[in-house]
């Protein structure tokens, strides 16, 4: 069904909440509504949750025009966008009792995308084709021969030692095909999220924050 233009949907509505509810029911995404109304994503999300409206959340794979794609979101908004899209928290990095770190639960064996989150802010986004559990084991060890694993291991260690909670969120998108050719969706999702969020730990040499 073709959606009505936003100007038509909100024409006779006075409050922002009324506009949000109407646009959600019309079929617009939460991210689109936040951009169109120039308001915080959290505002849209709260109105939707309070009203019991589950529409407006990305589920699965959708093809969108470049003009409507999300080019950048604030770091403090990103985790809510990811959770609404299907990311799930799988655990927290903790001290292992001997000066290192360990994940407090078992990570999925599937290939997928993961995010490290501190105080609700996404600090790092990565992808694992061999399985997320294997990738987390690499971060736990922080082998010097693996520069990224060693660098991020040091950052996580410093946060855990300081008593800061570092959470792990993951998503395991299905593989797709394009004109009969295989598409690794996890790799594309990682690249898109890094571009959208620009997590600070993804940039080697950046000051820890």
Q: Do 120 and 172 belong to one domain?
A: yes
Which tokens hold the place of 73? 């979101």
Q: Do 191 and 126 belong to one domain?
A: yes
pLDDT, tens digit, 9 for 90 and up, residues 165-203: 999 999 998 888 888 899 989 999 999 999 989 999 997
pLDDT of 209 reads: 41
Which tokens hold the place of 176? 């797709």
Q: For residues 196 and 125, is the Cβ–Cβ distance under 8 A? A: no
Q: What percent of the chain has pLDDT over 90?
A: 51
Q: Do 31 and 116 belong to one domain?
A: no
For residue 169, give Cα distances in angstroms to 57, 145, 207: 18, 26, 23
pLDDT of 204 reads: 47
Q: Do 85 and 10 belong to one domain?
A: no
Q: Which of 67, 74, 86, 77 is nearest to 45 (CA)?
A: 77
Please indicate, yes or no, if residue 129 is contained in any of the structural domains: yes
Please indicate, yes or no, if residue 176 is contained in any of the structural domains: yes
Q: For residues 132 and 110, is the Cβ–Cβ distance under 8 A? A: yes
Q: Do 87 and 52 belong to one domain?
A: no
Q: Do 155 and 184 belong to one domain?
A: yes
Please indicate, yes or no, if residue 49 is contained in any of the structural domains: yes
Q: How many domains does the chain have?
A: 2
pLDDT of 65 reads: 54
pTM: 0.75
Q: Do 47 and 95 belong to one domain?
A: no
Q: Do 111 and 29 belong to one domain?
A: no
Residues 6+ apart with CB under 8 A from 155: 123, 201, 208
Please indicate, yes or no, if residue 185 is contained in any of the structural domains: yes
Distance CA 119, CA 166 (A): 8
Task: Using the predicted structure, report yes or no on whether residue 208 has a pLDDT greater than 70.
Answer: no
CATH (domain of 125): 3.40.1440.40
Q: Which of 180, 145, 208, 183 is nearest to 61 (CA)?
A: 183
Q: Do 145 and 190 belong to one domain?
A: yes
Instruction: Enumerate the β-bridge partners of residue 124.
Output: 116
Q: Do 53 and 81 belong to one domain?
A: no
Please indicate, yes or no, if residue 26 is contained in any of the structural domains: yes
Please indicate, yes or no, if residue 63 is contained in any of the structural domains: no
For residue 179, give Cα distances in angstroms to 129, 173, 186, 188: 22, 19, 18, 17
Task: Using the predicted structure, report yes or no on whether residue 27 has a pLDDT greater than 70.
Answer: yes
Q: For residues 160 and 97, is the Cβ–Cβ distance under 8 A? A: no
Task: Using the predicted structure, report yes or no on whether residue 71 has a pLDDT greater than 80.
Answer: no
pLDDT, tens digit, 9 for 90 and up, residues 91-144: 999 999 998 999 999 899 999 999 999 998 999 999 998 899 999 999 999 877
Please indicate, yes or no, if residue 94 is contained in any of the structural domains: yes
DSSP 9-71: HTTT--SHHHHHHHHHHHT--HHHHHHHHT--HHHHHHHHHHHT--TT---S-----GGGS--
Q: Do 86 and 172 belong to one domain?
A: yes
The domain in which residue 190 lies consists of 75-202
Q: Do 38 and 85 belong to one domain?
A: no
| Residue that the structure tokens 């959600």 belong to | 24
Task: Using the predicted structure, report yes or no on whether residue 159 has a pLDDT greater than 90.
Answer: yes
Task: Using the predicted structure, report yes or no on whether residue 38 has a pLDDT greater than 80.
Answer: yes
Please indicate, yes or no, if residue 69 is contained in any of the structural domains: no
Distance CA 124, CA 117 (A): 7
């Amino acid at each position: 069904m073709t959606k009505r233009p936003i100007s038509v949907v909100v024409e006779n509505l006075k409050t922002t909440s009324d506009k949000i509810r109407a646009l959600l029911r019309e079929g617009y995404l939460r991210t689109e509504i936040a951009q169109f109304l120039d308001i915080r994503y959290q505002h849209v999300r709260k109105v939707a949750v309070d009203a019991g409206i589950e529409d407006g959340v990305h589920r699965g794979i959708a093809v969108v025009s470049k003009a409507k794609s999300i080019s950048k979101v604030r770091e403090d908004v990103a985790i809510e966008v990811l959770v609404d899209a299907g990311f799930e928290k799988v655990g927290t990095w903790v001290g292992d009792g001997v000066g290192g770190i360990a994940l407090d639960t078992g990570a999925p064996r599937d290939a997928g995308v993961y995010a490290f989150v501190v105080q609700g802010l996404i600090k790092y986004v990565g992808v694992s084709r061999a399985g997320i559990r294997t990738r987390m084991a690499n971060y736990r060890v922080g082998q010097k021969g693996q520069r990224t694993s060693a660098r991020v291991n040091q950052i996580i260690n410093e946060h855990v030692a300081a008593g800061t909670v570092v959470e792990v969120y993951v998503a395991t998108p299905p593989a797709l095909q394009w004109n009969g050719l295989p598409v690794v969706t996890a790799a594309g999702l990682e690249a898109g999220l890094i571009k959208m969020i620009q997590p600070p730990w993804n940039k080697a040499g950046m000051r820890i924050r």
